[in-house]
Every structure is written in structure tokens, then in C-alpha cells.
Homo-oligomer: A and B are copies of this chain.
Amino acid sequence: MIKIVAKNTVKEGKKEELLLLIKELVDKSRAEEGNISYDLCEDINDSNVLTFIEEWKDQDAIDKHNATEHFTRLVPKIGALTIAEGSEIRLYTKVL
């Protein structure tokens, strides 16, 4: 199992537009065979920080996800509404 934490900082005034794009991505990603969980979360202390916390069966599932129509269409659009400096993506394996 691989966990992904993908932190994004939204550009001022773009949150509503961004959430519409993300809603479609969340729904279609959860439907993928290799997905375990796929949540969009908001930082309690900074409402402009929106972070995906995801769980995937393995790297193959992630590779397939990254090649889906919804990912390749939506992720660039999402990226255009976020601030690069405040964004970070990390892939994790569970240790304990």
C-alpha cells in the first residue's frame, strides 16, 4: 500500500472553481480498481491549503491513475489554480 499526501495552496479567489474540478477527480479516482481511499482535506488553520490524502494498492495502481483520462485532463487545470511554492507531493510507505 502506498499513501500519497499532495498539498496544494489555492490562488486567491479560485477556491470554488478549484473545488468543482477536484470533485470530479475525487469521484473518478475513488472508482479506480487500485484505489483504497482518496480524500480532499482542508487545513484547519489555513483554508487556502487543500491536501489530497490518498491510499493506493501499489505503484502500478498509481501509474494507471496517472495515465487516466480524468487525471491527465484535470490535474493541469487544478495546477493552474494553485501556487507552486505552497504545493508539495510525497509518496509514502507505512513503516509502523
Contact = CB atoms under 8 A, between A and B. Distances in A.
Interface of A: 2-3, 5, 7, 19, 22-23, 26, 39-45, 49-51, 53, 90-96
B53 A96 contact: no
A7 B93 CA distance: 13
Nearest to A91: B44
Which of A90, A92, A94 is packed against the most chain B CB atoms within 10 Å? A92
A39 B92 CA distance: 11
Contacts of A7: 90
A53 B92 contact: yes
A96 B93 CA distance: 23
A89 B92 CA distance: 16
